[in-house]
Amino acid sequence: MIQLQESAMAGTATYREHSHHGLLQLLAAPFAALGRILIRIAESSRAMREIERLNQMSDEELAARGLTRDGEIRRIFAGQLYL
């Protein structure tokens, strides 16, 4: 669609292309919302909080407590994953 605008000094042309992306975004919106919900559920789990705490500790801090990163991951996910 081309719109012509007249002014005292010059004429201008504006080209606007109608996009069908709006329909695709509308169809994808429920799936994007579901994805965000699943991410929030995963991030709020006990295991994720413990992994975050583990990631904030240095290897030296873990060694001072007599722990290893690998051992802690196995403890956190015991019974949930086959490791």
41 three-state secondary structure: helix
Burial 22-59 (b: 16+ CB within 10 A, else e): eeeeeeeeeeeeeeeeeeeeeeeeeeeeeeeeeeeeee
Tens of pLDDT, residues 40-72 = 888 788 888 899 999 999 999 999 999 999 999
Predicted confidence at residue 11, as pLDDT, reads 63
Decide if pLDDT at 78 tops 60: yes
Q: Structure pTM?
A: 0.47
Decide if pLDDT at 35 tops 80: yes
Domain ranges of the chain: 44-83
Predicted confidence at residue 57, as pLDDT, reads 94
